[in-house]
Structure 1
Amino acid sequence: MSAPEASVQVSFKNRAKTALADRSLKIAIDRTTGTAEAKRAVAVAAFPEFQAARARGRAIKDHVIAHLDHYLEQFERNATASGAKVHWASDDAEARAIITRICLDAKAKLVTRSKSMLGEEIGLPHALADAGIERVETDLAEHIIQLAGEAPSHIVWPAMHRTREQVAELFKIAHHPPPSADDPATMVQSARRELRAKFLGADIGISGSNFLVADTGATCTVTNEGNAELTTTPPRIHIVTAGIEKIVPTTAHALSLLRLLVRSATGGELTQYTTFHCGPKRPGDADGPEEMHIVLVDNGRTRMLDNEFREMLRCIRCGACMNHCVVYRQIGGHAYGGTYPGPMGSVLTPVLNGLGGSRDLPNACTMNGRCAEVCPVEIPIPTLLRAWRIRSWREKLEPGSLRAGIGIWAVLARRPGLYGLASRIGVRALRLFGKGGWIARLPLAGGWTAHRDLPRPAGRTFMEQYRAQQAHKGSRP
């Protein structure tokens, strides 16, 4: 059972409770998200055209979504013309089957993989293990969580839940020889030494793709470590996995979105490595794979074209919504229980796993709107989360006690006189639970008072206080 699958077996509330009690997790999250938030702010301030670029990015994605079939067919034609083999997968199971078949037909024993959230989405790591194929994660953060046997907790920094001290302990056990010190530079050198032989000895390299360029048939990857290039170039076969929404019309459009992606994700202007792969090695090329396979994955994306979650297909996977989310920054990514954590994950997980098992996620939001404010392609995430809440209510997935309570409130709200009477009784009854100006325990409100005190209300309702104030004003000369 995969880490996300195992996590789903535990309720979101219990996962969140465990995360809140983990002090080292809070330290790790604060270190990373705080830095990311600050660097993004500086990058945006230094880019006066950011809002205009944002509007252009949204327009590009909306245009592609509206003409998705046209651009995907164009991409297939041009990728095939360049020598690549294009495969179509309707769901995660078909995607896994295609990739493992390519690996088994090639008699691959060792596969290197650069970071790809789509690979996690379709369960590729476990599929390769089940097929008896050794998998080596080459991204430094993915290398860390592979050693720890964990799933990613962030889509840009998969190991952000791990402190430097915890990473040092992992490397001391797994690396031979172990790092001589626990400073970042020494540990990076240790990982580089550990992975070098894997890069050169792999039979197949598997990468994701940040963008698929329709008019050239090229795939684009962006990294800061160079591991993707070492993953895709030395092996005999290169496999690309990509969601169908990653398509863009031209290279110029990809570069426009890159300006938004990098600033929003890491606060930089451009990543260290931006690579376009266009087919396998040609005669006269110094290096490159002999075969290139591109697996285009649907897995629920076309369903989103026809419903209220269509705008989520704009997502360019920058992670900015997570870095600015007040909930994510308290509980981290694993508490969400799916492949994609944070605000964007709360929209996508019900699409991928069904609303029945993930209805708590859309409710785990304060609706403060920061995710929408920082989204580089202006996805209205709070609106989409509200849409899931509405669906959950209509499908009667909410607990019976909650539905009954809201039903009672609705009866009162439609009858102002009765509502006023209930309010007057309620505020007076609540004072019975108060002490020192606060309520520490309250029936039916344990979710609130278990972690914080509730202010003790005044002895009168707002309307009673308002009428008294107006009467006082009227009595003054």
Structure 2
Amino acid sequence: MNHDTATKKYVQNSALAIKDEILQSALNKIQSGLGKATALSYQNLDEGPPLRLKAHEIREKTINNLDVVLTRLAAKVRDNGGKVYFARTDKQAVDYCLKVAQQHHVKQVVKGKSMVTEEIGLNPAFEAKGIEVNETDLGEYIVQLAGEKPSHIIAPAAHKTRQQVGRLFEQKLGVPYTEDPPELTRIARKALREKFLTADMGISGCNLACAETGHMTVVSNEGNIRMSTTLPKVHVAIMGMERVVPNLEDHDILFRLLSRGAAAQKLGGYVSYIGGPGGPEFPDGPEEFHLVILDNGRSRILADPKFREILCCIRCSACLNACPVYGKIGGHAYDSTYCGPIGAVLTPLMEGMNQAKDLCLGESLCGACKQACSVNIDLPRMLLELRYRLAYGDDQWETKPVSVVEKTIHQAWALLAGHPALYRAVLTTFALGQKIFPTSKGMITKMPGPGAGWTKSRDIQPLSQTPFRKRFKKLNAQKADR
């Protein structure tokens, strides 16, 4: 992953995003549309919502036996005529791709949408070597022209209006301004078709890889990935090492749920099964096929039983479409390859808990992400675990306690909770002391110190001058008198 990610800007970015009316409108459409439709699509499964529990079992079993499954996958790919490279770091993955490009004198690359190539910073590395890289997913193409990062896993340009896209195309492609979506799509298609026909190399991600057959499955609703992987003479697929299933039966279950979680579809518009190079029997396919299996911190996550579950994720983005936090701040606020609830867990584990602490501290823990997840991952549990490590530190993850003050407050609360008399005395003191705080309509409007964050955007109910225990005792006494 790109280690200069400035996730410390999360708080500032979030504040700006909330004020962006265009972004707020776009996010509302995503969540009111895809979010609700996905929940309904789970209900319409032949097996019903419990299929998600079955999918979770499949993913957990695979992750717990990942070494065996990956060994089988690599052997099958090689049997099919492909080449396999295991990259331990992002640099190793990039260097291997550059090596393949140099061997084939590649000048131009077309790419299908791939979050993992964003993770390793592949595009800038190629461009630094003078190799032209063209994103071919319409959303990715738009944000590439704009010099931006994707703001959503499956809808990279969700934050842009058609007017903004029209002006962008006018500026970058030299075409007359239009804001008509079909016309904008036609303009992009024409520009990209020329790139497809002249590209020397195609690069794609991998939605799922099947160890039993040695094939990669990629899905899109535009057909661009199919063209990126078949027209160029060399195809390089890059996958996170967890994106594998042992057999076709498991593949079927997960792929059906992937389509529903991503876009509430029974199946994506274009589904491609890639089994290796074309060969003499398939002259229209690539002459060489390379599969790069990326670790880049995943082994470390695998080794921790508390976080291993995050590797079950199949990047459907359903959690983004349900998360109230993402629904207000969007993907750019996270300033990371992975945003939303999945990013709030994955980024701290890959970038460093201290560096990316704001991401996991910013989530609401409402549980909507788990309810929406196509494979029923318990993201709230892992968010809490991250917060625990940040509160108390963790040598295994080189994590230092974030706030000594906060830790002291929690320890003090634990002490009070275990000593009723002391608890009552402190509450009585606070009830008297709170009178110095500004109030409006009976609510505290501003608090000092750590409490200032709470009152920045909300008022707080003051402590009652008559504690509940006294009121309860009085009510019981009145009842007894009757």
* TM-score normalized with structure 2 length: 0.94
Counterparts in 2 of 1:204-223, with a 5 A limit? 204-223=201-220
Does the 8 Å CA contact 2:10/2:358 hold for their aligned counterparts?
yes
Counterparts in 2 of 1:219-368, with a 5 A limit? 219-307=216-304, 308-368=306-366
CA distance in 2, matches of 1:430, 1:153: 43
Query: Structure 2: which 5+ runs fail to align?
Result: 394-399
Query: Shift in Å at residue 31 of structure 1?
Result: 1.6
Does the 8 Å CA contact 1:5/1:338 hold for their aligned counterparts?
no
| 1:376 matched residue in structure 2 | 374
- Does residue 435 of the first structure (1) align with residue 440 of the second (2)? yes
CA distance in 2, matches of 1:219, 1:291: 15
CA distance in 2, matches of 1:178, 1:281: 40
User: What letter is aligned with 2:480?
Assistant: G
Q: Secondary structure at the match of 1:51?
A: coil
CA distance in 1, matches of 2:12, 2:138: 30
CA distance in 2, matches of 1:390, 1:405: 14
- Does residue 473 of the first structure (1) align with residue 479 of the second (2)? yes
Does the 8 Å CA contact 1:75/1:215 hold for their aligned counterparts?
yes
User: What letter is aligned with 1:469?
Assistant: L
Q: Secondary structure at the match of 1:455?
A: coil
CA-to-aligned-CA distance 1:428-465 (integer Å, 9 cap, x gap): 33244323212211222221211122234432222232
Match of 2:34 among 33, 36, 40: 36
Does the 8 Å CA contact 1:427/1:461 hold for their aligned counterparts?
no
Does the 8 Å CA contact 1:112/1:205 hold for their aligned counterparts?
yes
CA distance in 2, matches of 1:273, 1:160: 21
Query: Shift in Å at residue 333 of structure 1?
Result: 1.0
CA-to-aligned-CA distance 1:126-158 (integer Å, 9 cap, x gap): 211222211100000000110111111111111
Does the 8 Å CA contact 1:314/1:377 hold for their aligned counterparts?
yes
Q: How many residues align?
A: 473
CA-to-aligned-CA distance 1:298-354 (integer Å, 9 cap, x gap): 112122222111111111111111111111101111111221111111111012101
Query: Shift in Å at residue 48 of structure 1?
Result: 4.2
- Does residue 135 of the first structure (1) align with residue 133 of the second (2)? yes
CA distance in 2, matches of 1:169, 1:464: 67
Does the 8 Å CA contact 2:5/2:336 hold for their aligned counterparts?
no
| 1:389 matched residue in structure 2 | 387
Query: What's the % identity of the aligned pairs?
Result: 37
| 1:193 matched residue in structure 2 | 190
CA distance in 2, matches of 1:196, 1:302: 39
* TM-score normalized with structure 1 length: 0.95
| 1:416 matched residue in structure 2 | 420
Please, which moves more after superposition, 98-107 or 450-459? 450-459
Match of 1:450 among 420, 441, 456: 456
Does the 8 Å CA contact 2:233/2:288 hold for their aligned counterparts?
yes
- Does residue 464 of the first structure (1) align with residue 462 of the second (2)? no
| 1:155 matched residue in structure 2 | 153
CA distance in 1, matches of 2:357, 2:370: 21
| 2:169 matched residue in structure 1 | 171
Query: Shift in Å at residue 50 of structure 1?
Result: 2.9
User: What letter is aligned with 1:420?
Assistant: R
Does the 8 Å CA contact 1:75/1:213 hold for their aligned counterparts?
yes
Please, which moves more after superposition, 411-420 or 286-295? 411-420
Does the 8 Å CA contact 2:261/2:374 hold for their aligned counterparts?
yes
CA distance in 1, matches of 2:180, 2:467: 59
User: What letter is aligned with 2:61?
Assistant: H
Q: Secondary structure at the match of 1:222?
A: strand
CA distance in 2, matches of 1:63, 1:134: 41
CA-to-aligned-CA distance 1:380-436 (integer Å, 9 cap, x gap): 111111111111122142223222333333333332111101111212332443232
Q: Secondary structure at the match of 1:293?
A: strand
Query: Shift in Å at residue 110 of structure 1?
Result: 0.7
CA distance in 1, matches of 2:54, 2:6: 38
CA distance in 2, matches of 1:311, 1:441: 40
Counterparts in 2 of 1:61-80, with a 5 A limit? 61-80=59-78
Q: Secondary structure at the match of 2:219?
A: strand
Gap change, CA 1:178 and 1:464, over 3 Å in 2:
farther
CA distance in 2, matches of 1:279, 1:474: 83
Please, which moves more after superposition, 29-38 or 455-464? 455-464
